Amino acid sequence: MTIPELTDVHAAWLPPEAFRAIGSRRTLVQADGPLAETVRAEVERARARYGGAAEGPYDLVLSLNAAEGADGYAIARRDGVTTVTGGDPAGLLYGFFHVVRLGEAAFGPDREPEHHRPAMRRRMLDHWDNIDVHPVMGQVERGYAGGSIFWSDGALRPDLTRVRAYGRLLAASGVNAVAINNVNVHATEARLLTDRLGEVAAIAAELRPYGIRVHLSVNFASPIALGGLPTADPLDEGVRAWWARTTEQVYAAIPDFGGYVVKADSEGQPGPFAYGRTHADGANMLAEALAPFGGVVHWRAFVYNHRQDWRDRSTDRARAAYDHFAPLDGRFAGNAILQVKHGPMDFQTREPVSPVILEMQGTRLAVELQVTQEYTGQQRHVCYLAPMWSEILAFENVAETGDLVAVSNVGDDRYWTGHPLAQANLYAFGRLAWDPGLDPAAVLDEWIDLTFAWPGESLRRTLHAMMDGSWRTYERYTAPLGVGFMVRPGHHYGPDVDGYEYTPWGTYHFADRDGVGVDRTRATGTGFTGQYPQPWSDIYESLERCPDELLLFFHHVPYGHVLHSGSTVIQHIYDTHFAGAEEAAEIRLHWEKLADTDAVDPDLYARVKERLDEQVRCAEEWRDQINAYFFRKSGVPDARGRHIS
């Protein structure tokens, strides 16, 4: 087991200093097998750097006890010895990284045993990486951190050290599965399933030592495109045989292969509708092929009509996933997992939780989050997303789904994520997938301690001041009150209030001179509120009870409508947009106080500073466009007399 060493790439949350406490102690690893070897190698490397002795008496003992369960571990300290007991080798690895997180605190006073088990059995990142570079989308679809860490120049990267380093970072945050390619599976990438399978195996080999299984996005039409069959009909015997045979070959090459990810009948991708079959038929066909090997299929529920007529107000994209999938509840195979975006639309800054997640109790579900900041600032804006995810995961039964998936935000950028502070989102995703109940601020503290090696209070305070409230700041200066979008079409960066208003994409705000918002009520609207269980169905239906932050998602209201906050809708728009842009400027001010100190590396300082300048500019643009748009439309002046262009 070689622990990856990278030069010219930022260490993220695993700099050498993160291992100082362990490395200066005496540690015993009482276990065998590949993952135990990884732990042993980590310990050796830390010891080599920080001079801990190889022999006892030991300060830290890591061992196995199946009672702690899969991926689980216990940690305790008594009589000057810290013990980590893994339920299995993966648990041992997670327990080891728990000690890393604690740092010196792991070796302080005695601790009563704590038992840790992940809330989600699968904690997974989806990469939207392509092999080929798309002229507009680039290599990583919705990627804001450069090219793919897996492929370059149309081929697997010859040096995969970085892939292993990525796996190591993920393991330290708790992630245990990675889908390596874009769910929009183009011609070149489709071949990863067959003649380019060796590339998948090579990536799997790099991630395996850190307990991460590899999954693959596949094209539903593969039997035609790759197999030369006349059909991809999921009930066709030849098609099923092709998938069975192909899957067998995948497992021959990668025995711990995780399974398939499929985007079918969505935004132009092929799917079972072409054959008059249901999505359960499609998913179950793949599930059947994967079952003998313990694999799963993640079948995405992101199915909607992207050729909608904007004139037709009765069609509602928010309804689509439920309308398509709820009738199929109970009909999916046991190893078919319906992967549902957390909200009914598409990763907006604020959405209600998808009713599919709340209602489909007879189906294995995975909740999909978006770590890559497509709609939340594209890693040019500081937007710490853990508070949003925390709210989502705390909602009703969301945390019980067992599978949490997110679109990754890394690329071949020196800082992994473009914006160095966006690393915290990747870290927090893994941690919340493990324990959705964690406090986002506490997770941020972990990330700060690891990344900046337990810095002083000053830097810690600065980063909290910048990041804790950054999602709500971003929400303030962008689309108001849950209405969503208002972004530039295509790239989705920056404001364009009507950008999607008269398009086929189903994402509207219906602003006119009298009011704004989407009427999704049962009484007078699209009836979307009826897809929710009680009490949410009635809460969202009710103009009085609907939470302010989702008001325009569920209701079309006059500009003078008074919110629970006491403000009118129009005044709320003005106030939040002035405030949001001001907060963006304050975030930058906090950072600028670090200039010419040694609190952070000058390169990292400069990178963040450059991004903050863009964030401030863009926040002002959002403020002015949104305010001008609604002022021109409503004619209502700002009650506080501020200038609106």
For the annotated catalytic residues, the residue numbers are 267, 346, 374
- CA neighbor of 322 nearest in space, from 352, 353, 301: 301
When binding is defined by CB under 8 A, the residue of 445, 498, 586, 614 that contacts a second copy is 498
Q: Which is nearer to a second copy, 514 or 592 (CB)?
A: 514
633 binds a second copy (CB under 8 A): yes
Alpha-carbon span 578 to 135, nearest angstrom = 37
624 binds a second copy (CB under 8 A): yes
**Which of the stretches 79-87, 288-296, 390-398, 626-634 binds a second copy when contact is defined by CB under 8 A?**
626-634
The minimum distance between CB 501 and a second copy, in angstroms, equals: 8
534 binds a second copy (CB under 8 A): no
The minimum distance between CB 609 and a second copy, in angstroms, equals: 22
Query: Long-range contacts of range 231-237, CB-CB < 8 Å, 24 or more positions apart?
Result: 231/275, 232/270, 232/274, 232/275, 233/272, 233/275, 233/277, 234/272, 234/275, 234/277, 234/281, 234/282, 234/284, 234/285, 235/275, 235/277, 235/281, 235/285, 236/275
**Which of the stretches 72-80, 339-347, 611-619, 623-631 binds a second copy when contact is defined by CB under 8 A?**
623-631
Residue 30, SS3?
Answer: strand
**Which of the stretches 16-24, 40-48, 393-401, 629-637 binds a second copy when contact is defined by CB under 8 A?**
629-637
Give the phi and the psi of residue 334 in degrees, each rounded to 5.
-65, -25
Tokens representing residue 313 in the block: 């107000």
Binding residues for a second copy, total number by CB under 8 A: 25
The minimum distance between CB 225 and a second copy, in angstroms, equals: 25
Tell me if 218 sits within 8 A of 261, measured CB to CB.
yes
Chain residues 289-348 in contact with a second copy, contact rule CB under 8 A: 310-311
When binding is defined by CB under 8 A, the residue of 86, 495, 517, 580 that contacts a second copy is 495
Ramachandran area for residue 635 (φ above 0: left; ψ -120 to 50: alpha; else beta): left
Cα maximum dimension of the chain: 78
Alpha helices in 291-385 (DSSP H): 320-325, 355-359
- Residues pairing with 568 in the sheet: 562
- CA neighbor of 121 nearest in space, from 462, 400, 344: 400
17 binds a second copy (CB under 8 A): no
The minimum distance between CB 96 and a second copy, in angstroms, equals: 47
132 binds a second copy (CB under 8 A): no
The minimum distance between CB 125 and a second copy, in angstroms, equals: 29
When binding is defined by CB under 8 A, the residue of 307, 513, 544, 641 that contacts a second copy is 513
Tokens representing residue 68 in the block: 């702690």
514 binds a second copy (CB under 8 A): yes
When binding is defined by CB under 8 A, the residue of 253, 628, 637, 639 that contacts a second copy is 628
Tell me if 467 sits within 8 A of 491, measured CB to CB.
no
268 binds a second copy (CB under 8 A): no
The minimum distance between CB 482 and a second copy, in angstroms, equals: 20
- Residues pairing with 78 in the sheet: 81
What is the contact surface with a second copy in residues (CB under 8 A)?
A: 135-136, 310-311, 495-499, 502, 511-514, 621, 624-625, 628-629, 631-635, 645
